[in-house]
Chains A and B, each alone.
Chain A
Amino acid sequence: MQTIFSYIDRDTFVHRLHPVTKLGHVLLTLIIILIPYGPTLESALALSVWLAFSAVLWGIAGISLRQFWSLFKILLATFVFLILIQGFMYRGGEPLLVLGHLPISGGADLGVVTDAGLLFGLLLCVRVLVAVSALPLFISTTTISRVMAALNSMGVPNRFTFMFVSSLSFTNLIFEMWNSIIEAQKLRAFDIESMPLWQRARRAYVPVIVPLILLLFRKGNDLEVALKSRAFGSTHRPTQVEVLEVTWRDHLMVAVMLGVFGLCLWIRLFWK
Chain B
Amino acid sequence: MNLTISRGEFVAVFGANGAGKSTLCYLLSGMIPNIYGGRRRGRVEVCGIDPWDHPINEIAQRCCMVLQDPEAQLFMPSLEMELAFGPANLGVPREEIMRRVEEALEVVGLKGLNRRNTNALSGGQKQRAALASVLTILPDLLVLDEPTSQLDPLGTKEVLEAIRNVREGHQVSILMTTHKTEEVMGLVDRCMVLKEGRVVALGPPEEVLSQVDLLEEAGVQPPTTARVFSAVSPWLPRGEALRPEADPDRAAGSLRRLLGAGALRLVPREVPESPGADAVGEPILQVQEVTFSYPGTPPVTALKEVSLDIRQGEFVGLIGQNGSGKSTLVKALVGLLRPQRGRILFKGEDLSRLSVGNIATRVGLVLQNPDYQLFSISAEREIAFGLENIGLAPERREERIHEVLEMVGLEHVRETFPFKLSFGDRRKLAVAAVLALGPEVLIMDEPTTAQDYRGRYLLAELAQRLRERDDRTIIMISHDMDLIARYADRLVVMYEGRVLLDGPTREVFREAEALRKTFLAPPTATQLAAGLASEGMPADLLTVDELLARLEKGGH
Contact = CB atoms under 8 A, between A and B. Distances in A.
A240 B74 CA distance: 19
B35 A224 contact: yes
Specify which of A9, A186, A233 lies most central, judged by the most chain B CB atoms within 10 Å of its CB. Answer: A186
B277 to A, nearest CB: 32
A207 interface: yes
Given A230-B60, A234-B89, A241 B97 contact: yes
Interface stretch (B308-316, B354-362, B491-499): B354-362
A213 to B, nearest CB: 9
B134 interface: yes
B73 to A, nearest CB: 4
B377 to A, nearest CB: 10
A222 B67 contact: yes
A186 B434 CA distance: 11
Contacts of A221: 35
Contacts of A144: 76-78
B296 A189 contact: no
Contacts of B69: 222
Interface stretch (B230-238, B368-376, B543-551): B368-376
Interface residues of A, number: 57
B72 A226 contact: yes
Given A188-B434, A232-B89, A238-B91, A207 B56 contact: no
B272 to A, nearest CB: 36
A251 B72 CA distance: 41
Given A180-B372, A241-B84, A228 B60 contact: yes
Given A185-B373, A186-B336, A211-B373, A228 B91 contact: no
Given A169-B75, A188-B389, A188-B433, A236 B357 contact: no
Given A165-B76, A188-B434, A207-B375, A230 B137 contact: yes
Given A189-B390, A223-B75, A207 B89 contact: no
A210 interface: yes
B519 interface: no
B60 A145 contact: no
Contacts of A231: 57, 60-61, 86, 89-90, 137
B64 interface: yes
Interface string B167-193: 000000000000000000000000000
B137 A188 contact: no
Contacts of B331: 183
Interface in B105-161: 115, 117, 119, 130, 133-134, 137
Contacts of A77: none
A1 B298 CA distance: 9
B357 A186 contact: yes
Interface in A159-177: 165-166, 168-169, 172-173, 177
Interface string A199-216: 000000011001100110
A125 B295 CA distance: 30
B57 A228 contact: yes
B134 A229 contact: yes
Contacts of A94: none
Interface string B359-387: 01100110100011111000000000110
Nearest to A222: B72
A237 interface: yes
B229 to A, nearest CB: 39
Interface of A: 1-2, 7, 9, 143-145, 165-166, 168-169, 172-173, 177, 180-181, 183-191, 194, 206-207, 210-211, 214-215, 218-219, 221-243
* A-B pairs, 6 with minimum CB distance: A189-B357, A236-B91, A222-B72, A144-B77, A210-B375, A189-B389
7 contacts: A145-B76, A181-B372, A187-B364, A207-B385, A226-B73, A230-B86, A239-B91
